[in-house]
Amino acid sequence: MAILGGLEMRIMEILWQQENPVSVREIHEDLLKDRTLAYTTVMTVLDRLAKKGITHREREGRAWLYVAGFTRAELVVTAMREALADSGPEERTALTRFAQTLPGHQQDLLRSALS
């Protein structure tokens, strides 16, 4: 799973806020509050997210209803693990530099999680 683009993340944020599955139309209407966007664009992005396993969908009549396949934390963890795995022989350097660039409170959280 690659890092999500801006529209993909915005759609995921909408899904994370929902208690029940939502339709493309509902997501499209929410997105229209911030920007002009074609319905078909939203439909295509949701279809791709479902094919990647990032969302789950089910049919209700003629409409697809979507839910997030991951929590925000699970999505971040997956992206971080894949990025680290992609660093190959530079894994140690990448992980060390990442940890060094964290703000103090995040370094404290990391130390606490590892102890």
Query: Which CATH number belongs to the domain containing residue 28 in this structure?
Result: 1.10.10.10
- Are 15 and 63 within one domain? yes
58 beta partners: 65
- Are 23 and 57 within one domain? yes
Indicate whether 3 pLDDT > 90: no
Q: How far apart are CA 55 and CA 57, in angstroms?
A: 7
Q: What pLDDT is recorded for position 63?
A: 93
Q: How far apart are CA 50 and CA 107, in angstroms?
A: 34
In a domain, 29, yes or no: yes
Indicate whether 37 pLDDT > 60: yes
Indicate whether 1 pLDDT > 60: no
- When the pLDDT of each residue in the chain is averaged and rounded to a whole number, the result is 93
Q: What pLDDT is recorded for position 68?
A: 97
In a domain, 11, yes or no: yes
Q: What pLDDT is recorded for position 79?
A: 87
Reported as half-sphere exposure (CB side, CA atoms, 13 A), residue 21 has a value of 13
Residue 2's pLDDT band, with cuts at 50, 70 and 90, is: low
Q: How far apart are CA 49 and CA 75, in angstroms?
A: 12
Indicate whether 61 pLDDT > 60: yes
Q: What is the 3-state secondary structure (H, E, C) of 71-95?
A: CHHHHHHHHHHHHHHCCHHHHHHHH
